[in-house]
């Protein structure tokens, strides 16, 4: 499951799926699909959830065991694109190689590094397997509360 702690975080807040669905303006079955892995939560929705309920993206993805507090994140595609590029170059990888690992084509992946499209949640999870250790919060430029 891509978002391993979505259900746990909701239950820790004593929220029902219908409460989260109302926050997003969607049907509760969509939230159920996200929590079971039947459907993938769009990264924009996951960021909204993390901001609203003060959860780390790394925690929601199951990359860290304990939630860490971050300031709310305003999605900045240019910053995300720059950070994706820098991460790839730091690890001496090509776009083609990363695309192959993510089961996509290089031209699609290049759109994420050129701020044309936002990287999908499934690809972000794939990057956590390619670049270890890796922080999704840092990739998005989210600032930790000290």
Q: Which domains are seen in the chain, by residue range?
A: 6-60 (1.10.260.40), 77-139 (1.10.260.40)
The model scores a pTM over 0.85 = yes
With beta carbons less than 8 A apart as the criterion, state whether 57 and 136 touch: yes
The predicted structure's pLDDT at residue 1: 59
The predicted structure's pLDDT at residue 133: 85
Q: Distance between CA 100 and CA 106 in Å, rounded?
A: 8
SS3 content of the chain, % helix, strand, coil (to 5): 55, 0, 40
pLDDT at 142 over 70: yes
Q: Which one, of 137, 141, 140, lies nearest residue 55 by Cα?
A: 137
The DSSP letter of residue 97 is: H
Residue appearing with tokens 């509360």 = 145
β partners of residue 72: none
* Per-residue pLDDT tens over the stretch 66-90: 999 999 999 999 999 999 999 999 9
* Per-residue pLDDT tens over the stretch 94-123: 999 999 999 999 999 999 999 999 999 999
Q: Distance between CA 48 and CA 42 in Å, rounded?
A: 10
Query: Strand, coil or helix: what is 70?
Result: strand
Percent of the chain with pLDDT over 90: 92
Polymer length of the chain:
146
pLDDT tier at 25, thresholds 50, 70, 90: very high
The predicted structure's pLDDT at residue 134: 86
The average pLDDT across 1-7 equals: 81
With beta carbons less than 8 A apart as the criterion, state whether 67 and 13 touch: no
Residue appearing with tokens 């820790």 = 12
């Amino acid at each position: 499951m891509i978002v391993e702690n979505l259900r746990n975080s909701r239950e820790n807040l004593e929220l029902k799926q219908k409460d989260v669905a109302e926050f997003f303006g969607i049907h509760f079955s969509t939230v159920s699909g996200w929590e079971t892995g039947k459907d993938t939560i769009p990264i924009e929705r996951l960021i909204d959830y993390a901001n609203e309920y003060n959860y780390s993206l790394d925690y929601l993805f199951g990359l860290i065991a304990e939630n860490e507090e971050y300031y709310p994140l305003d999605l900045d595609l240019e910053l995300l694109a720059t950070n994706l590029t820098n991460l790839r170059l730091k690890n001496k990888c090509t776009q083609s190689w990363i695309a192959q690992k993510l089961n996509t084509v290089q031209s699609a992946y290049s759109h994420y590094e050129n701020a044309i499209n936002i990287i999908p949640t499934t690809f972000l999870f794939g990057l956590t397997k390619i670049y270890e250790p890796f922080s999704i919060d840092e990739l998005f430029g989210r600032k930790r509360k000290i």
